Structure 1
Amino acid sequence: MQSSDFNEKRKFIVKLGKMLHKFGTPAYRLEAHLQDVAKDLNIGASFAITPTVLTFVIWVPGEDNEYTHVARVMPGDLDLGSLSRADEVVDAVLKHQMTLQEATERLNTIAVMPNPYSRWATFFAYGAAGGAFAMLMRASWLDVAYATGLSLIVYLFVLWAEKSRRVTHMLEPLVAMSSALGATALAAYIDPRINIPIVVLSAIIVFIPGLALTLGFAETAARHLVSGTARIMDAVMILFKLYFGAFLGMALGERLFGKVDYVPTQAVEAWTAWLAVAILCGSLVIVFRARRKHISWGLMSGFIAYGASQLGGIYLDLALGAFVGAFAVGVYGNLFTRLMNAPASIVSLQGMIVLVPGSKTYIGLNSFISGEHMVPTDHIGQQTFLIFMSLVAGFIFANVALPPKKSL
């Protein structure tokens, strides 16, 4: 193999790996995908992917020379639209419809593409996500309204963080503290019927790292121990920062505005859970920058996840219901890959978010530290652990029942 040809291939693989990591691809999927690409390009390669360090070792089979590339990176954020476009570039290269140079230029273009959704759309998506989660928690309509309003304020802090590096480092405790202060002020001066802990949790639900925890356990189950452990610890620290911010905000609010006795009010009807799933998945389409042609598939994933988990919970148990939901979403995602020739994660992630017990982890942390119960739930620690394990097992079983067409 000529050196120029090898250089083009290894540049493309390094560029592809960095971009897929930037778009939030888990380590076990990213390594498998890069191995498939290297094999199709007829070069040898080995990869070690973690949330903060990427290591590439690439060589020509039968030759002694190796190329090693190590990059220090920050954990990626989910960008499903860019992930889909990058996958299309790989398909075009492997089908000889695009040269490696053209593919590298296309990847550079994808890397700087603006958000397909406006700031106003993202603003309302944050508010909708907070209100939808309050509905799923069977809060009152008043709590749903207040959670929506506070979620809109949270997005303003996200915009501020885009302009200031200092705010970025303290974003999680800052939004939690601000939401708690806002909720306690509303309860003291406007409406004592606010369920402050539920409203605060709903307002910051976009930051709750339930998905990251689940992906960390999935990576550990796939024997990617370094990456999985790092992702789990990162998610736990984010959870601690959020809880500390909320705890500090409620303490300051009680000191500034006085303690307010909660006045219980009627919860939303049970049927609203289906409406909440639709609103939540619709908002995630915008937050995760999914492409418009995949919107209906993503919404269906949320309905399948919720419906299958509820059905499984009736006949089995709440935790095993999560296994049924994860199995259904996994099969659906692999079917989507076969029909649309796109990564399964584009739709499965939205269903996974409906299932992940990130909120239960937060509630359990609150019960452990304060001794107070935000919702009447027994054995929440055991339930949370079982749900995490059920989700991981559900996706493993789904990949056995219907093997994925793509490694992403």
Structure 2
Amino acid sequence: MAEELPVSIAERRLDNVPHYPDRHEPVGFMLRLVKALHTYGVPSYELERLMTNVADQLGYGLQTTAVPTSITMTFIQDEDKPRTYVIRSNAGEVNVDKLSRTTDVAHAVINGEMSTEEGAKELTEIANSAPLHNKFWMIFCFMIVSICISRIFGGGVEEIITASVTGLVVGTFVNIGGLRSETVSNLMPALSAFIATVISFGFNYWLGLSSTYIPVVSGIMVLIPGMMLTIAMAELATQNLVSGTARLLGAGVIFIQMTLGVAIGTQVASLIFGQASITTSIDHQLPEWTVWLAITISSWALMMLFQSRSKHLPWIVVTICLSFFISRWAGSYMGVATGAFFGALTVGVFSNLAYRIKQVPTAAIMMPGFIILVPGSVGFKSLTELLEHNIIGGLETAFNMMIVGVSLITGLLVSSIATLPKPAIKTETTVGPEDNE
């Protein structure tokens, strides 16, 4: 009887591919290691460099090309003919803990502390391990992030209430409903934006919101591809043009899906609640201290969403609060782009310090830090303005998004002295495994 095909070829285990090298062989181990790193979101420029170091340690020549949907690896050893393998793979779950443990395996092999057999066994354990925080915590934290983002964007009580419901419903849909079908998963940005828009207009009908835009963007903020956009620009800056362009277009498609979801949601809401349109005005403000409370709480919620360990929370809170303050202060005096530069510089510096002092994975700090700084919400706003036929405003906002993105990458370049962001990648020659809680 033929083996049942998996849901997605990109998610197919290499163990199930006929005639592939065994995972305990050096080549088989490297193929599985590169797919794991790619799945957990390591940028192309860092992935290629790390795998070259692994291959050198194992006595192989290696050429690697990684793009968002596939990896090509050519192995050369002694007088043997080069062997080329192509792996179909997509970026998968956002899991800082698994990413950190996988890179620990890579560096242990590079340093001669672990054999390929031991490394292969460890990769299997990592892949099969349960998430640190279950899906019910994910739903709760999705709602908390929506509430906090709503306040950070200047929302009042009504907007915060609406954002809480939006975040709860969208979070439930993403963490439960979206896992049942690959088609639903692919349409998740559009469906989530549709749900958030209808809920926002419903609460506007009942409560009278000052801004219908804030609850919408707050409810889908975690899904906005700001980090993807930033990594794409980093890859372009390092001359990984194919990968950077593909990732940039991928982020653009997600933005377009979200805009389509808002457009359809607006039309449906107009039929149900009467004439509806996206509004961005804010007529009232809560006390300033509530912003800092929202920043602190969102740090904890983002730590949970990205599957980081709770012992890293103090570093995450300090970095996010300080980068937000510096970005805001610099932006008020020197412009938004300059503020983004100094904010990214702060995140990069503290990520490096946290790693050097306490071995905190850089991704544990960079990923939540960039949710606050990345221009994803700006890009979404530019498309909604185009949707409202504000062509000049939409193009101006999109241009500002690109300027902010360049500023973020420049800040990260400077923070690491011309070494670009390395999510959980370790650079020392001797690295021990991360402590477990």
Among 330, 351, 354, the alignment partner of 2:348 is 330
| Structure 1 residue 296, shift from structure 2 partner | 2.4
Among 291, 316, 323, the alignment partner of 1:305 is 323
Extract unaligned runs of 5+ from structure 2.
Answer: 1-20, 429-437
Q: Is the 8 A contact 1:209 1:238 kept in 2?
A: yes
Determine helix, strand or coil for the equivalent of 1:400: coil
The one-character-per-residue Cα deviations of 1:331-383 (angstroms, maximum 9, x if unpaired) are 2222223223454223222212211011111111122231469xx99953332
Q: Which residue number in structure 2 is paired with residue 389 of structure 1?
A: 406
Query: Residues 176-195 of structure 1 correspond to what in structure 2 (within 5 A)?
Result: 176-188=193-205, 190-193=206-209, 195=211
Change (3 A) 1:402 1:17: closer
Which deviates more from structure 2 when the two are superposed, residues 138-147 or residues 310-319?
310-319
Change (3 A) 1:302 1:77: same
Among 134, 137, 154, the alignment partner of 1:118 is 134
Matched letter for residue 181 of structure 2: S
Q: Which residue number in structure 2 is paired with residue 89 of structure 1?
A: 105
Q: What do you get for the CA RMSD once the two structures are aligned?
A: 2.7
| Structure 1 residue 115, shift from structure 2 partner | 1.5
**How many pairs are equivalent?**
401
**Mapped partners of 1:243, 1:389: distance in 2:** 23
Q: Which residue number in structure 1 is paired with residue 25 of structure 2?
A: 8
Q: Is the 8 A contact 1:12 1:103 kept in 2?
A: yes
Change (3 A) 1:208 1:330: same
Q: Which residue number in structure 1 is paired with residue 367 of structure 2?
A: 349
Among 415, 422, 426, the alignment partner of 1:406 is 426
The one-character-per-residue Cα deviations of 1:273-319 (angstroms, maximum 9, x if unpaired) are 22222222221111111123322222222123212212322442221
The one-character-per-residue Cα deviations of 1:145-172 (angstroms, maximum 9, x if unpaired) are 2101111000221111112233222221
The one-character-per-residue Cα deviations of 1:112-149 (angstroms, maximum 9, x if unpaired) are 21221122211110001111111111011220121011
**Mapped partners of 2:124, 2:43: distance in 1:** 21
Determine helix, strand or coil for the equivalent of 2:25: helix
Q: Is the 8 A contact 2:327 2:340 kept in 1?
A: yes
Q: Which residue number in structure 2 is paired with residue 273 of structure 1?
A: 291
Change (3 A) 1:304 1:46: farther
Change (3 A) 1:169 1:119: same
**Mapped partners of 2:427, 2:262: distance in 1:** 39
| Structure 1 residue 272, shift from structure 2 partner | 2.5
**Mapped partners of 1:55, 1:88: distance in 2:** 23
Among 146, 171, 174, the alignment partner of 1:130 is 146
**Mapped partners of 1:86, 1:92: distance in 2:** 10
**Mapped partners of 1:197, 1:341: distance in 2:** 40
**Mapped partners of 2:50, 2:295: distance in 1:** 31
Matched, 1:360 2:378: yes
Query: Residues 34-183 of structure 1 correspond to what in structure 2 (within 5 A)?
Result: 34-60=51-77, 62-158=78-174, 159-183=176-200
Q: Which residue number in structure 1 is paired with residue 9 of structure 2?
A: none
**Mapped partners of 2:287, 2:23: distance in 1:** 62
Q: Is the 8 A contact 1:356 1:388 kept in 2?
A: yes
TM-score of the superposed pair, with normalisation by structure 1: 0.91
Change (3 A) 1:237 1:377: closer
Determine helix, strand or coil for the equivalent of 2:265: helix
Change (3 A) 1:183 1:5: closer
Q: Which residue number in structure 1 is paired with residue 335 of structure 2?
A: 317
Determine helix, strand or coil for the equivalent of 1:98: coil
Matched letter for residue 366 of structure 2: S
| Structure 1 residue 75, shift from structure 2 partner | 2.6
Q: Is the 8 A contact 1:87 1:342 kept in 2?
A: no
**Mapped partners of 1:171, 1:381: distance in 2:** 23
Matched letter for residue 33 of structure 1: L
Q: Is the 8 A contact 2:43 2:231 kept in 1?
A: yes
Structure 1 residue runs of 4 or more that deviate by more than 3 Å after TM superposition: 4-7, 94-97, 260-265, 340-343, 376-379, 401-405
Matched, 1:24 2:45: no
| Structure 1 residue 64, shift from structure 2 partner | 3.9
Q: Is the 8 A contact 1:210 1:353 kept in 2?
A: yes
Change (3 A) 1:11 1:339: farther
Extract unaligned runs of 5+ from structure 1.
Answer: none
Q: Is the 8 A contact 1:33 1:407 kept in 2?
A: no
Matched letter for residue 307 of structure 1: F
Matched letter for residue 266 of structure 1: H
Q: Which residue number in structure 2 is paired with residue 226 of structure 1?
A: 242
Among 185, 190, 198, the alignment partner of 2:214 is 198
Change (3 A) 1:402 1:27: closer
Determine helix, strand or coil for the equivalent of 1:319: helix
| Structure 1 residue 107, shift from structure 2 partner | 0.3
